[in-house]
Structure 1
């Protein structure tokens, strides 16, 4: 009599990944477009080189007062294919010649990637140096990443909220020294601070971090 074959052992289930690992993976996948929205600094040259009205006056000691303002403005960048890919709007823009900085109230930045994905960044105030290599968003910062073809009211793929966010164009770094909340699907992370380096794809958190995962049944 041929002995009956023993049943194969059930496959081992891989242990669940730590929450922090999962969040880091999500951010590495979705943050590049958010970074692109903030690093639309090439558009700032339009502001910096806006022609001034009137003749230049006599030279005077530099003071921290704006040399020009733009109220309820909108700046657009059109790609080589004729499509709008970056738009920056705000309640008021001010340029300070002594520090060569641009300040915007109630800023709203919108960037479209080649695949149609949309990134939107909003804040009560934005501050940028003259060449756009250092951009800071302050107060009520809200970033959203939307899937291709989705309207602005669609549920975001990734959402980030906080009170401060800094984008460094030359080093391709997105960071905040203040607490941020990141949401993706049913995953939420509250972190004391973070730093994302696009060149290496690394996300680093320091201080306390708390995460929550919503079960599929509850979703």
Structure 2
């Protein structure tokens, strides 16, 4: 009797393993299509070249213009990657501010844009103010708020004046550029008298 019982256990255990495998295979093949349709991979669903666009606020006022050599959109996290992006903040009462970079990455609706590479902020000349150039290796732009910041090294030049430091906060609406640490430079006073050349 003992031998017959033990010999029956082996086929029964094999049958249980086969049932478990069959159940697992059925579950695996009946997974929702959403897990296998590629949306969970970080692959672009659109690639655009020579892109030019603009964004308006709720009142229809232009917030900024944007251009890029190439834009890749990723549906899994609704981000976009830019090659040679260019942002321009335009105001009728203030000088235009243009930001260029080698590369950029934007969140959904481009409310936040992370720029990297050779980042340049150029503020056009106006009145008695000379054009301003700020250079840094990376910059985060909050487009709707018209603000930007970086924790990297920055060099700002305006006419013969220059400043350099680490970390910067920019407010395009107020036209302010605040360096955070290790600041040094030379600023020429607009009231300084120019020396007459010797004759």
TM-score bracket, shorter-length normalisation:
0.5 to 0.7
Q: Distance in 2 between matches of 1:114 and 1:94?
A: 32
RCO higher in structure (CA 8 A, sep ≥6): 1
Whole-angstrom CA distance in 2 between matches of 1:186 and 1:111: 25
- After superposition, residues 174-213 of structure 1 pair within 5 angstroms as 174-196=148-170, 203=178, 205-206=180-181, 208-213=182-187
The alignment yields a C-alpha RMSD, in angstroms, of: 3.6
The residue number in structure 2 matching 1:63 is 41
Aligned to 1:123: 101
- Report the count of equivalent residues: 155
* Secondary structure at the counterpart of residue 65 of structure 1: coil
Deviation at 1:142, TM superposition (A): 0.8
TM-score (norm 2): 0.63
Structure 1 spans left out of the alignment, 5+ residues: 1-57, 150-154
2:97–2:172: 8 Å Cα contact kept in structure 1?
Answer: no
Match of 1:94 in 2: 72
The answer to whether the aligner puts 1:106 opposite 2:81 as a matched pair is no
Q: Give the structure 1 partner of residue 18 of structure 2.
A: none
Larger radius of gyration: 2
**Structure 2: gaps spanning 5 or more residues:** 1-32
Shift of 1:125: 0.7
Q: 1:190 Cα deviation (Å)?
A: 0.9
Instruction: Report which of the two has the higher share of strand.
Output: 2
- Change over 3 Å in CA distance of 1:70–1:195 after alignment to 2: same
Q: Which residue of 2 aligns with 1:146?
A: 124
Note the C-alpha offset of 1:87.
2.5
1:74 aligns with 2:52: yes
- TM-score w.r.t. length of structure 1: 0.58
